[in-house]
């Protein structure tokens, strides 16, 4: 039986594209819509997770990821 594992997807709009970043593994993808960017990110993550060595996964994996905002003074 296949299992799934959740990963974080941070999305940003860059001109006419959406960029989806998985901060746990530092892998990104893009698409014309939010849905397409997320689907493309999944398509990038799955083969990476299937083929990466345990050593590479340990080296890249950020176990705890916090997403928040900060206040910055601007002139």
From the first residue on, what is the mean pLDDT of each consecutive set of 10 residues in the chain (75 residues)? 91 97 96 98 96 93 91 94
* C-beta separation of 36 from 22 below 8 A: no
Tally Cβ neighbours within 10 Å of residue 24.
18
27 inside domain:
yes
Task: Give the total number of structural domains in the chain.
Answer: 1
33 inside domain:
yes
**CA within 13 Å, CB half, 20:** 20
4 inside domain:
no
69 inside domain:
no
20 inside domain:
yes
In this prediction the pTM is: 0.85
* C-beta separation of 1 from 40 below 8 A: no
Query: What distance in Å separates the CA atoms of residue 29 and residue 46, rounded to the nearest whole number?
Result: 12
pLDDT value of residue 63: 87
């Amino acid at each position: 039986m296949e299992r799934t594992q959740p990963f974080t997807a941070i999305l940003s709009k860059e001109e006419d594209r959406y960029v989806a970043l998985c901060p746990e593994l530092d892998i990104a993808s893009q698409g014309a819509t939010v849905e397409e960017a997320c689907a493309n990110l999944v398509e990038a993550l799955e083969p990476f997770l299937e083929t990466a060595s345990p050593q590479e996964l340990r080296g890249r994996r950020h176990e705890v990821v916090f997403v928040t905002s900060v206040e910055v003074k601007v002139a």
